[in-house]
A and B are shown apart, each in its own frame.
Chain A
Amino acid sequence: MPKLDFDIITLGHGSGGILTNKLLEAGVFDLLSNPLLDTHHDGAMLNLTGRVAFTTDSYVISPVFFPGGNIGELAVNGTVNDLAMCGAIPKYLSLGFILEEGLTMAEFWDILVSIKGASERAGVQIVTGDTKVVERGKGDKIFINTSGIGELHPQANISIKNVRAGDKIIVSGHIATHGMAIMSVREGLEFETSLTSDTAPLNHTVLALLDEFGQDIHLLRDPTRGGVATVLNEIARDRNVGATRVGIDLKQAAIPVLDEVAGACELLGLDPLYVANEGVFLAIIAPEVADAFLEKLQTLDYGQSAAIIGEVVAEHPGQVVLTSRIGGRRVVNMLVGEQLPRIC
């Protein structure tokens, strides 16, 4: 951390004056330096060719430091992954901070270092940004917005329109790990666990799959907030899907969940299907290549625990139906509001 004459963020650091300048020069620009950011212009002037994907996301998480990561790398990985799910090669990110008065410079520095590390791992450049400071009590230490631009992979043709009955549903790794890692450090709920968040950049993994399987990858989605159940319901309910509406069949026994995660969910009365993920994606794949896709994915970073968990079907259009471990069948519905731990 650079030597600074302040150790906490004050309202002045958002004023646009000298303090803002000190914070940016010492904290942000030096650390995240790259030719585009170093121009210090009002915006970034970029060179892009062909089809482009563009996305934005805001990160509000409590606590901002959690087992396995912090809000900084989450903000980079999240937007990188959103681009990857479009079949894009992430290139440039913007970074918007809303800092709460009182945030320590040490904490901010740790977050910045994580941002730098995450952007290097993902191979993206942070080229423009913004910093505001809000009064104490009006933020949760720090909120981050990241927008990202990427060039679409030449083979990518990822669209809900491509989804059809017979397609296989593949999950790239253990589900619900991130959500339970966060919950394990939530105030009032702290429980001892070795769980860490699975936050990770998925772009390299996805691009390797696109190189090989191209247009047979019909859809990619990262099941963050709302979990796997929500994403699959969105697909089943989407009116733009294929030629006719589809249903989804899931096999509970095939869905990878770490024992520790399953145990924690059990205790709290939560269903892992609805718990948030950060380093996991769902792929809807043409059936002819599904096995080969899975085999390849299992050799790639973040894909070792991948599994085929279900199938797109013509039956029960609009619904996700799960075959339970014991062979019973039931609907997996959209969640109403937030999943809350049960009373007994």
Chain B
Amino acid sequence: MNQRTIQVDALESEAIFIFREVVAQFEKPVLLFSGGKDSITLVRLAQKAFYPAKIPFPLMHIDTGHNFPETIEFRDRLTQELGVELIVRNVQDNIDNGTVKEETGRYASRNMLQTETLLDAIEEFGFDACIGGARRDEEKARAKERIFSVRDDFGQWDEKNQRPEVFDMLNGKIDLGQNVRVFPISNWTELDVWSYIKKENIEIPSIYFAHKRNTFLRDGLIWSADDAVVFRDEEEEVVERMVRFRTVGDMSCTAAVLSHAVDIAKVVEEIRDSSISERGARIDDKRSEAAMEKRKQQGYF
């Protein structure tokens, strides 16, 4: 018999509570999985919420086709180990069937195109709850998000008319065609996520750790030069640098940071001392002051 006491770890207990509410209140939930640190953390929390039973919903990856190969390899291995279903839907399919138009030029990115593919997949499978790893500390429009956030059948977020969310009572009642976006780690910060990954000894894709990579500079950010999908002018000089990625989005809009952090402990230390926010390396947020809010109104995560 283990005589230890389980202490409250408020953020973890809150997230587990939310996962259980999703499964109790919805018919067809899905966990949106990008292979990034936040969705990896979600997977661990989902495991904890239902253990010793398996995670009672599938994982879904909206693949932009511009993912880091390390992330895809990691994704496939993790889902196989957990024995959960993995659904993959490709942005390329929407480009091919003409429902979205590929951007061109210097800042071309497939990040925004994901929305269409996501909404199609929600309709295809009839998902009524989509669990995601967004955090309120990421961005100021995200900071306004409820934990259960209702979207209409166009996937739209009505940011000025959100349901009150009091205490920890989560109202999952929706009409047919609507769905709820659920954010179990809303209240976590980037540092909380890293500290948790360290404490739980959770495996993450190698691009999060410092490695040598061919890179070039644009707009004060460091971009990977190894990948054809990242736009580069001829005169932008390629230099090998020691870098890591702080966030794993679409390659075309995710910049690297200079780093020597080769393990989790070093990463935690680096984040703690960092004077730049996580989204500082995401060019898609810099398009305008309201970039995220606009994307969310259209059904983006």
Report if A and B associate in a common complex.
Answer: no
A residues with a Cβ closer than 8 A to B are none
